[in-house]
């Protein structure tokens, strides 16, 4: 089967709309494994602009860095991440959400219209970032989707609070976790269904949503239409797409995606949000995002002009504490200058920033950026290695030439 037939045969309307042109070198992330670089081509899914393909089935596509420079990531540029390959097309009219479990008093079912009309609609701007973003930059390399910098995006999410929906079901005193399932499924029967859970305190947080709109429009199919879970501040493994079932339980969820996958060594990262019912002796579930930044308008080997003002721009974000400062270095981290923070769209959002400088002489510059959040946590100089390649927030290092 050739590639076009394979794509058209994929579930959920997966179709090749791009040309499959090889990625420009600047987008290929030279530090990625050679196989990831060679497979990193620009392809377009239906309804999307060309994105960097990391895998076809399930579809995993990342956003090119230059499209992450604005505070809001457009829907058609937003990255795509699925764990299972069968992704059904679901109409809003046929969608139903079942709410139940052993720790609710009144199980019930919601239609799409009821989700929108029966509960207060709220909107929050928040970063959705794959837990494995930048995994492909790990040294030594680790298994998994070899993401570079673009497995993330920032959007305005609109929907109903999860806690309001749970209140209608009536929570029992023994409620411990809220688990939820999507409509997608694996190609093989033995593939574990992608089910995630949240501790009760996070499920009842006023910012945790069942979202049905993204940047003022219905969710794109590839980003979870008709409805998905949105957990601001936490990595996207909890942002389950095409949600169709929510269950409140008195016991911890023990499926593969909770007890084995998406876990980090205990004590390695400055994490505040703990998922106590899922913690083990040696590891713990990944939860909140660590503070990070990205330079979006300068690439390694760029050429700047002596005596000409140049603006370095980028975004910074964290797990919801808010960005306090971004600093820029032009000499590999020996000296730092404060960048200008731009509009604050909320503590869960990208914070855009910029720093303008005028090179005084020719030669090489080593540009770095360092974000610090309001807790005082900053990015690291060295990778905090872990077997899954999570939480890579090493400061970028870009070498440019001044002519």
Mean pLDDT in residue range 350-363: 95
Give the pLDDT band (50/70/90) at residue 25.
Answer: very low
Name which CATH class applies to 292-402. Answer: mainly beta
Going from N- to C-terminal start, the domains of the chain cover: 3-81, 96-142+149-285, 292-402
* Res 302: pLDDT: 87
pLDDT at 384: 95
Enter the pTM of the model: 0.91
The Cα 302–Cα 372 span in angstroms is: 26
301: confidence class by pLDDT, cuts 50, 70, 90: confident
Q: Sheet harboring 42-43: ordered strands across?
A: 42-43, 51-55, 60-62, 80-81
pLDDT 10s digits, 310-337: 999 999 999 999 999 999 999 999 999 9
> What integer pLDDT is reported at residue 29 of this predicted model?
52
SS3 label, residue 153: strand
**Percentage of the chain with pLDDT > 90?**
85
| pLDDT score of 195 | 98
- Long-range contact pairs involving 358-363 (C-beta distance under 8 Å, separation at least 24): 358/307, 358/308, 358/309, 358/310, 359/304, 359/305, 359/306, 359/307, 359/308, 359/310, 359/402, 360/306, 360/307, 361/306, 361/402, 362/306, 362/402, 362/403, 363/401, 363/402
Which residues lie below 8 Å from residue 84, measured CB to CB, with a gap of 6+? 58, 184, 185, 186, 187, 191, 193, 194
How many other β-carbons are positioned within 10 Å of the β-carbon of residue 144? 18
pLDDT tens digits, 183-240: 999 988 899 999 999 999 999 999 999 999 999 999 999 999 999 999 999 999 999 9
Pick from 241, 224, 215, 239: which is nearest to 75 by CA? Answer: 215
Q: What is the predicted pLDDT for the residue at 14?
A: 40
Please tell me the predicted confidence (pLDDT) of residue 159.
98
Specify whether domain 96-142+149-285 bears CATH 3.90.420.10.
yes
- Give the whole-angstrom CA distance, residue 67 versus residue 109: 39
């Amino acid at each position: 089967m050739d590639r076009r037939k394979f794509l058209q045969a994929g579930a959920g309307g997966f179709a090749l709309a791009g040309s499959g042109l090889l990625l420009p070198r600047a987008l290929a992330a030279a530090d990625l494994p050679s196989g990831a670089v060679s497979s990193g081509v620009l392809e377009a899914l239906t309804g999307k602009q060309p994105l960097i393909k990391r895998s076809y089935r399930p579809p995993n596509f990342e956003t090119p860095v230059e499209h992450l420079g604005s505070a809001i990531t457009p829907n058609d540029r937003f990255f795509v991440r699925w764990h299972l390959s069968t992704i059904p097309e679901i109409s809003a009219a046929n969608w139903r959400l079942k709410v139940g479990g052993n720790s609710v008093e009144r199980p019930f079912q919601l239609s799409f219209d009821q989700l929108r009309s029966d509960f207060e609609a709220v909107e929050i701007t928040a970063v959705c970032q794959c837990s494995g973003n930048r995994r492909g930059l790990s040294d030594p390399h680790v298994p998994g989707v070899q993401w570079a910098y673009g497995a993330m995006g920032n959007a305005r999410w609109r929907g109903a609070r999860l806690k309001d929906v749970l209140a209608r079901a009536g929570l029992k005193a023994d409620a411990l976790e809220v688990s939820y399932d999507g409509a997608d499924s694996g190609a093989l029967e033995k593939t574990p269904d992608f089910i995630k859970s949240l501790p009760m305190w996070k499920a009842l947080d006023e910012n945790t949503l069942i979202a049905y709109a993204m940047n003022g429009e219905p969710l794109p199919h590839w980003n979870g239409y008709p409805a998905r879970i949105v957990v601001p501040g936490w990595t996207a493994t909890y942002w389950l797409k095409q949600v169709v079932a929510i269950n409140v339980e008195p016991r911890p969820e023990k499926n593969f995606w909770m007890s084995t996958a998406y876990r980090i060594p205990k004590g390695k990262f400055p994490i505040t949000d703990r998922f106590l019912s899922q913690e083990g002796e040696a590891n713990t579930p990944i939860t909140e995002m660590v503070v990070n930044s990205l330079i979006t308008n300068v690439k390694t080997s760029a050429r700047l002009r002596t005596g000409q003002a140049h603006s370095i721009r980028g975004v910074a974000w964290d797990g919801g504490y808010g960005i306090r400062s971004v600093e820029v270095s032009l000499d590999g981290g020996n000296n730092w200058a404060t960048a200008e923070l731009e509009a604050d769209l909320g503590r869960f959002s990208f914070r855009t920033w910029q720093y303008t400088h005028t090179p005084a002489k020719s030669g090489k510059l080593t540009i770095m950026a360092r974000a610090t959040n309001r807790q005082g946590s900053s990015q690291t100089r060295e990778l905090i290695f872990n077997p899954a390649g999570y939480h890579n927030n090493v400061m970028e290092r870009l070498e440019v030439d001044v002519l």
